[in-house]
């Protein structure tokens, strides 16, 4: 057995995780819990301090249960890379304002590795960040080559896309199955051995890096396309006077070949509204036009504006202009019960409300610093209309009585998270998305 594989198996291999965010920190904690000495390289000093203090600053359930001080040695000093046998790259892969993929964080992280790599160690570098097919071969490997390192001799390069779903009570960093692709056979074996040692889930070796990269992009594009389909149905069924949620529930009684997806005021987060662009742009370079994916993105991007249009219709019925009306936007995070605002549709909704000169108030219990109001009571007392943009538990418990008490007249349930029948029986005007 190769010496590094032996070190992986007896857990004497040292681990370096670059980027201690939603992906990197739970992974570092998991590896530490499983017995590996784990270093974390993070560029933000505030995060380094919090990690070294054992603080669960991400409000993550897995971290809440398993993270404590001393598990991860965090630092801003890149020299820890020279100590590591395995380096996991967990940095962001965003798009810019024109939806162009921005690989700068990945490039920077790889450059940091090449400046500190000890070729004698034959370190395994694993990119966990979501990337389009081709990034490892076309962007990552050339950076190593430029720095004089030969793949398979001085280091190994693998991709093991992270599938974590923050806030998910069932699936977490340790129990989600993984796929692994590498440049060499040895790289695949070693990387699979490492993940098998830390996970309580199967690890599937893929035939190539490209296949592993494509797997993750396919998964997230699948979600984006299906969500776009139900968002389109939400618009069409509204015109037809059909409740799309009831129909999805009906279709879900079919025990095969149907998987429910739900319409909403928009798709947010660092993955679903971002990753498809990586494939769209890379395929374009190879002469392929991803019409279907582009359309899905367009439909999902249209939902915040559609939500504001629904409110405008309702206010019309009340003979109120949106201009000057006090509107409460409940929720700034992109998903329930987390404080992550990346690509959140709430901000797009706010932009559209601004265009119409509405008086905007915002409240998110997980993002208080970002909120204009500091409590639900405060925001409701100031508002004539409400848009639920995030289905935080606090908002799903709202009753017509609470809203009526505060003289709210209309509510748009952007997440279809309230009991429609009860709201429709009240004095309030209620509309969901597609219902």
Ligand X SMILES: NC(=O)c1ccc[n+]([C@@H]2O[C@H](COP(=O)([O-])OP(=O)(O)OC[C@H]3O[C@@H](n4cnc5c(N)ncnc54)[C@H](O)[C@@H]3O)[C@@H](O)[C@H]2O)c1
Q: Which residues are catalytic?
A: 271
> What residues have CB less than 8 Å from 3, skipping those under 6 apart?
none
Using the minimum distance from each CB to ligand X, give the nearer residue, 111 or 326.
111
What 3-state DSSP class applies to 263? Answer: coil
Give min distance, CB of 367 to ligand X, in A.
15
Give min distance, CB of 421 to ligand X, in A.
34
Using the minimum distance from each CB to ligand X, give the nearer residue, 48 or 328.
48
Separation between Cα atoms, residue 425 and residue 435, nearest integer Å: 15
Q: Where are the beta strands (DSSP E) in 130-190?
A: 155-159, 178-182
Give min distance, CB of 173 to ligand X, in A.
10
Using the minimum distance from each CB to ligand X, give the nearer residue, 47 or 435.
47
List interacting residues with ligand X (CB under 6 A): 18-24, 41-44, 47, 90-93, 105, 108-109, 112, 129-130, 162-164, 166, 270-271
Separation between Cα atoms, residue 158 and residue 211, nearest integer Å: 11
Report the side by side order of strands in the sheet with 203-205. Answer: 73-75, 37-41, 14-18, 86-89, 123-127, 155-159, 178-182, 203-205
Considering Cα of 10, then 62, then 73, then 126, what sign does the dihedral take?
Answer: positive
Separation between Cα atoms, residue 388 and residue 397, nearest integer Å: 12
Using the minimum distance from each CB to ligand X, give the nearer residue, 40 or 205.
40
CA 56 from centroid of its chain's CA atoms: 18
Using the minimum distance from each CB to ligand X, give the nearer residue, 44 or 295.
44
Spell out a b/e string for 401-423, using b for 16 or more CB atoms within 10 Å of the CB, else e.
Answer: eebeebebbbbbbbbbbbebeeb
Separation between Cα atoms, residue 283 and residue 416, nearest integer Å: 35
Give min distance, CB of 244 to ligand X, in A.
26
- Which helix (H) or strand (E) element contains residue 359? strand 359-363
Instruction: Read off the tokens for 5.
Output: 């594989």
Is the CB of residue 273 less than 8 Å from the CB of residue 297? yes
Give min distance, CB of 40 to ligand X, in A.
9
Give min distance, CB of 355 to ligand X, in A.
29
Separation between Cα atoms, residue 349 and residue 393, nearest integer Å: 20
Separation between Cα atoms, residue 374 and residue 83, nearest integer Å: 46
Using the minimum distance from each CB to ligand X, give the nearer residue, 31 or 91.
91
């Amino acid at each position: 057995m190769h010496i590094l594989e032996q070190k992986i198996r007896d857990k004497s291999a040292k681990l370096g995780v670059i980027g201690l965010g939603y992906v990197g920190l739970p992974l570092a904690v998991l590896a530490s819990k499983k017995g590996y000495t784990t270093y974390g390289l993070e560029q933000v000093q505030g995060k380094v301090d919090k990690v070294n203090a054992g603080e669960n600053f991400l409000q993550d359930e897995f971290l809440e249960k398993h993270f404590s001080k001393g598990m991860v040695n965090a630092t801003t000093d890149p020299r820890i890379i020279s100590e590591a046998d395995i380096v996991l790259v967990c940095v962001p892969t965003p798009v810019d304002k024109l939806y162009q993929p921005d690989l700068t964080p990945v490039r920077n992280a790889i450059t940091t590795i090449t400046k500190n790599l000890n070729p004698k160690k034959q370190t395994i570098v694993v990119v966990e960040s979501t990337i389009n097919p081709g990034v490892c071969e076309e962007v990552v490997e050339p950076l190593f080559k430029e720095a004089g390192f030969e793949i398979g001799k001085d280091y190994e390069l693998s991709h093991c896309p992270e599938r974590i779903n923050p806030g998910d009570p069932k699936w977490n960093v340790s129990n989600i199955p993984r796929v692994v692709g590498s440049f060499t056979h040895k790289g695949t074996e070693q990387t699979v051995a490492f993940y098998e040692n830390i996970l309580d889930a199967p690890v599937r070796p893929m035939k190539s890096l490209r296949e592993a990269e494509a797997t993750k992009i396919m998964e997230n594009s699948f979600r984006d396309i299906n969500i776009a389909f139900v968002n389109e149905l939400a618009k069409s069924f509204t015109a037809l006077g059909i409740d799309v949620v009831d129909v999805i529930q009906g279709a879900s009684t079919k025990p095969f070949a149907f998987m429910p997806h739900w319409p909403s005021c928009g798709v947010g987060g660092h993955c679903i509204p971002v990753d498809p662009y990586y494939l769209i742009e890379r395929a374009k370079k190879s002469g392929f036009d991803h019409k279907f994916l582009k359309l899905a993105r367009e439909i999902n991007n249209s939902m915040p504006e559609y939500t504001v249009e629904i409110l405008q219709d309702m206010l019309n019925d009340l003979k109120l202009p949106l201009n000057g009306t006090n509107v409460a936007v409940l929720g700034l995070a992109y998903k329930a019960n987390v404080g992550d605002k990346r690509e959140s549709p709430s901000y797009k909704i706010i932009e559209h409300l601004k265009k119409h000169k509405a008086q905007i108030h915002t409240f998110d219990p997980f993002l208080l610093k970002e909120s204009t109001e500091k409590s639900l009571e405060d925001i409701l007392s100031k508002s004539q209309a409400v848009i639920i943009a995030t289905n935080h538990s606090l908002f799903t418990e709202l009753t017509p009585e609470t809203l009526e008490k505060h003289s709210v007249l209309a509510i748009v349930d952007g997440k279809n998270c309230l009991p429609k029948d009860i709201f429709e029986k009240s004095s309030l005007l209620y509309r969901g998305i597609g219902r």
